[in-house]
Structure 1
């Protein structure tokens, strides 16, 4: 998502359009629970993984092809939609395949490796690829023409497409074929629909339902808007009250240093919860994910040197990583009981909805009131999430999350 925001900003789209169009890309994750049962019914998990990877590679190639054209916005958004649905489906298949191809001991061994490679992929996508596009934008490798910026991003996505297609071929050969990875032919579409309906109904029969939704939809209310505007703010011209950093610098600060800080925050969050329990740390985590947003008020008002920007972004992302631990643990907490896996998936759908809806309006709000007032607005929007954490805290089992 971040690379799409930066690319569209460099191609000249307004913050209103960027936030609206890229927020819609969360929709596949919002509705993912509705089609996940059919991934079980049709074909194998291995087939879905390889096929979705091929579609993602083709989608990247389509974006690369469309960028230098006159209809780049319509075409690239169509391919981003393809990527979003393919990626969400890949998540469904990969999670199932992980449990089918490995026994419980192997799953425990590889869970850390899996998470590490996910984080490395984030650094590659938000950091290294953006820095590559930035280097191409400077004209070092491309001629200095009016099409230099579109061509820079086109080449970046062609490289990404080639990488994905290569990985698809590799996975086609090396991925194991576990005997348990087979279509669930004993279930009909009607049975699946009936089971899903029952699961969905039981989710809405949980205790404290209103408070649960209040937390799910407001915990990241400020962050959901900030994440859409942070990169455009770093890139925007001084005349527009932005920091006017280069694309490569944004890739280094936000996509590399910021992501590393995010990882460290997540690790720290897991450690403290395992020692003292979730209930003790939910409020400090809510403060950690929300209070550092105020640093952007300082950045927009002062326009400091690059090192201060680095420190501010690192602190904000460290707090985000630490605080987001509470959100993920709450999803696990509300999923306890019958249909745990399905209820967790439904919870992640509401998580995506909580990012999508506020993010859609973020660009329009910023374009209307300016950067500094927008960041003040973001800080105001953090208050419902903090209140939700206070209210939820008393409902949590003190022993939940504590390492036995």
Structure 2
């Protein structure tokens, strides 16, 4: 379901006909500001807010917040860096995305439909894994905690596959930027709850006790497991998108062709050699953010920030700037076009990493932390809203789950692999050099965006 740009004044809207698989291409002038903002009040946008919360909750709990827990428990930075490879589950979700796209779940699919049944199943996996983590202590046994984190990451990646397909199939292409923005707002609110919220809960349980108190983390992760109910309840009360007919497979070879090969062949056919350029942009767009994020929480611990301080700053200023960034990014994408906002987001994302390098020279400075966290969340909201809309525009609705899983997996593969070495880099060169290096990683992305803006989007027949 592509989004094509023409002289930044017209959008090419591909709207799927409800009675057939053909698409009618309609050229529309850009919407007014009032029309662009009104999209956010639609029921589909509000559902995406809650489902985005469910999708965003697990990520930090198996990578970012977990690294705070591990560092406080005395686990060394190099080990924490390598454990970030748990997040590679998100980078390889395209491997099982065809199953989510095509395979029905016994009983559940008949009761809920194809998309909602997979959503609920994956949410239950995440909740179970988080609850299991709440009973463990990394000081006593690190391996069982890692195994449960892998289970959470797998369930979370599966939820992403189903939810991305649900979002793309729930609205026409003109509204995808708004859905992406509300989804991203919910996603980032959940990340704040899984970051600041879990630290706040742990700090309240710990009270006046000093040092590492494992019971505080046990309670915090139990609360996080219960928070998955937001997504589960939303799934149960949401409509299933209109079912799209799937070609009947007469044998295993035909099923593999339709489920595994066709979605990828379709993308290559539509973009030919330019597909490599698009995949390169997708694979590198968030590299500076993702690599830097692996060491953010260990950085806070090592700089002497307490759980209460980190929670207060990210909860208050992070929420405000996340909401503002996601909203502004979505509106600007609808109003000005995705590519311009994509470029702006790339510049801001790399620039805020330089602010973290400056913060590393300040010592324990809460005021400076407020400014840096605020800028980082604003930049992240703008960049993410535009990027999700861009990925949605590349997707053919006939293969929505599989193709979007490929794109979002490419987004994480290189950054997560590089991020595994982040702890070793910090040990060798320090935090300031680390943040400067991650900022430099983002600048080649600007050239890729400039080149990709010349690519004519292929038809999502």
Please give the range of the TM-score, normalised by the shorter of the 2 chains: 0.7 to 0.9
* Residues in 2 aligned to 1:210 and 1:331: alpha-carbon distance in whole angstroms: 15
Is 1:31 the equivalent of 2:79?
Answer: no
Change (3 A) 1:232 1:283: same
TM-score, normalised on structure 2?
A: 0.71
8 Å Cα contact 1:217-1:354 kept in structure 2: yes
The gaps in structure 2 that reach 5 residues or longer are 1-59
Aligned to 1:369: 429
8 Å Cα contact 2:267-2:275 kept in structure 1: no
Aligned to 2:289: 223
Cα-to-partner distance string for 1:176-217 (whole Å, 9 max, x where unaligned): 796978998954654331112122233344242332233222
Aligned to 2:266: 202
Displacement of 1:369 after TM fit? 0.7
8 Å Cα contact 2:162-2:401 kept in structure 1: no
8 Å Cα contact 1:32-1:349 kept in structure 2: yes
Cα RMSD (Å): 3.5
Displacement of 1:33 after TM fit? 2.4
SS in 1 for 2:305: coil
Aligned to 1:41: 103
Displacement of 1:84 after TM fit? 1.0
TM-score, normalised on structure 1?
A: 0.80
Higher share in helix: 1
Change (3 A) 1:86 1:285: closer
Q: Trace 1:200-279 onto structure 2 (pairs within 5 A).
A: 200-205=264-269, 206=271, 207-236=273-302, 242=303, 244-254=304-314, 256-279=316-339
How many positions carry a matched residue from both structures? 379
8 Å Cα contact 1:36-1:89 kept in structure 2: yes
8 Å Cα contact 1:279-1:396 kept in structure 2: no
Q: Which of 59, 75, 79 lines up with 1:13 in the alignment? A: 75
* Residues in 1 aligned to 2:247 and 2:396: alpha-carbon distance in whole angstroms: 28
Change (3 A) 1:250 1:192: farther
Aligned to 2:214: 150
Is 1:310 the equivalent of 2:370?
Answer: yes
Is 1:386 the equivalent of 2:434?
Answer: no
Aligned to 1:356: 416
Cα-to-partner distance string for 1:121-160 (whole Å, 9 max, x where unaligned): 33322222221112333x34xxx487x5212111212333
Change (3 A) 1:204 1:251: farther
* Residues in 1 aligned to 2:380 and 2:165: alpha-carbon distance in whole angstroms: 28
